[in-house]
Amino acid sequence: MTIAEQIKQIREELHRHNYNYYVLDRPEISDFEFDQKLKRLIEFEVTYPEYDDPNSPTKRVGGGLTSGFETIVHRNRMYSLDNSYSKQDLIDWEKRLQKVVESDISYTCELKYDGASISLTYEDGKLSRAVTRGDGVQGDDVTANIRTMHSVPLQIQPPFPDIFDIRGEIILPLIGFQKMNKIRLANGEEPYRNPRNTASGSLKLQDSREVAKRPLECMLYSIVGAQTLANTQFESLELARKWGFKVPEHNILARTLSEVFEFIEHWDHHRNDLPYEIDGVVIKVNSLKHQEQLGYTSKSPRWAMAYKFQAEQAITILEHISYQVGRTGAITPVANLSPVELAGTTVKRASLHNADQIAKLDVRIGDAVFVEKGGEIIPKIVGVDMAQRKSDTLKVEYITHCPECHSLLLRHEGEAHHYCPNVDQCPPQIIGRIEHFISRKAMDIEGLGGETVTLLVTNQLIDNYADLYTLTKAQLLPLERMAAKSVDNLIEGIIKSKSQPFQRVLFALGIRFVGETVAQNLAKHFKSIDSLIQASQEELVAVDDIGERIAESVRSFFSDSKQLEIVNRLKSYGLQLEAQEAAVPISTLLQGCNIVVSGVFKNLSRDQLKLLIEQHGGKVVSSISSKTSFVVAGENMGPSKLEKSQKLGVSIKSEDQFLSEINAEV
């Protein structure tokens, strides 16, 4: 079997397994087997770039940065829908339909997903373009980001039109949204407000690798240009399923408006049973022939109507406000409410976010407040019923001292939160930092959870995460719920964590604004904790994805003598505070070369290009200087890099030129 045939075979296998797992939810192989096949394909594509395919399964992990999104005119306009809020609206709508369509009318009823609209174009069965709704006439080309979503097939099986569009909604399932927010809260960051805005914002991220990390899904609901293969909307949905698109199973064919009303009432009461947010039901005339007869107004199709559910709100009494302290010292006010039923659950607390939000709402103790439940971790207060306000209520005075350690709070200019500055002695901050350190994506210490951390801190066995590595069996056995076996597992887990790589240790330190990706970039660039500690603000900003705010936070962390003492202790305990040496290059063609990669590339992703450089002995650097050997430039090369390379006389090579030189010499 030739190389090309092997690559084709692996791609087809991965496409099939991806569909089975993400669309059918019926995996045929283990995650490990899938990852091994994907790894083998990546190796093939790096070694044989001439067989690159924009629809390869490897594109799911994302590529390089996009400096901007091209505006694309839709092949077929994306209309908005007319809204209705009552049964009478739908009855009036049907009367208008019957004036045009003389025969009986049936309808498809579909759930109205609360996400970001997208139009996908397929040519010869392959995804060629993905464009946001924009203003309906034109939108932004976000193809690179859409390719990372596993529920979007990169190619489909015949029969299919030569070219067609399929429309859908990019959504963020609630469980994925909640996981993302837990991570942000653990990192001391503001939680995302709701799934819809987060999904929409994800489409505009400039780094498709970041999009690939988000659990986004694409729900498809309309094919444009497949009339020869389907006669009705309901048939077109079945066709989309056969092609491998993710089409929810909750759609029905309704013969009468009475059946439409039953569908609406059912989902108005059961929408909270769904794994994602909906805000209504879309009713469409089923016959595509009838749709063509009815046509469009200047804004909307006459053959479709969106029935919008009323916002899920409840009214209850604000009993008091409590304040929580996060691991970074950020103070979050929480409204404690008289229990009220909302969206199928009993709500007792709601977020007030910060002092500005309290002032904006002018919410007061004893007020009757409107509570709304969306995709947030806890519900939020959206307003006050002023008609019920008592005359003796007082404005809320935001606390001035930490509720845990009573230190005077600070508020930095330009930030919404107040902070407790007592980093070393405030119990929630101590516990929070240690919990972050031991978390799965950081040191991943088995046998150690949040309750045990609290137990250790309370019993004064540890004050910081470095103390974990001094714990003994004799210290742990007397503690409550600590049997011999659990103690052995805990100590074994702590010892095992010493083998975690440098980038995970760096993430575990809990430096503000340093998440997983930033930690990886810093570890890869500086190679050791010592080099990072000595790095200047300018050197930090020169690293990929590092801005002024992150650089300032890193400098501040390592300027603290107490933090340096803890880092030195971790070093003495044997933790990995240096990056492991890279694998031996496959050639020395680029030995001694410092190479800058800039722009967007057509054959390889930025990561693949960087790997190729390293495999041939070269070093990838982020900024241009007199020591730069040359620049590999793709489309939209940064103007500052272009200007600096020209000023310093650094040569610029195109992607094709670079690849031809590599292939010619190997």
Contacts with 482 (C-beta within 8 Å, 6 or more apart), sequence order: 455, 476, 490
Cβ neighbour number for residue 135 with a 10 Å cutoff: 11
Local structure of 384: helix, strand or coil: strand
CB 436 within 8 A of CB 450: no
Question: What is the torsional sign of CA 539, 540, 545, 551?
Answer: negative
Please check whether residue 525 is in contact with residue 620, taking contact to mean a CB–CB distance below 8 angstroms. no
Paired tokens of 16? 């099939």
Widest pairwise Cα distance in the chain: 87
Q: Find out whether the peptide bond into 159 is cis, omega within 30 degrees of 0.
A: yes
Nearest to 379 by CA among 342, 324, 326: 342
Q: Report DSSP state, residue 60.
A: G
**Both tokens assigned to 229:** 């293969």
Active site residue 644: no
Give the integer Cα–Cα distance in Å for 308 and 264.
10
- The answer to whether residues 447 and 492 touch, using CB atoms and an 8 Å cutoff, is yes
Catalytic residue (one of 112, 284, 373, 380): 112
Identify the CA nearest to 312 among candidates 269, 348, 281, 368. Answer: 269
| Residue 14 near residue 36 (C-beta atoms within 8 A) | no
Half-sphere exposure of 572 (CA within 13 A, CB side): 10
In DSSP notation, 75-115 reads SS------EE-SHHHHHHHHHHHHTT--S---EEEEEEE-S
The rounded distance, in Å, linking the Cα atoms of 662 and 649 is 22
Q: Active-site positions?
A: 112
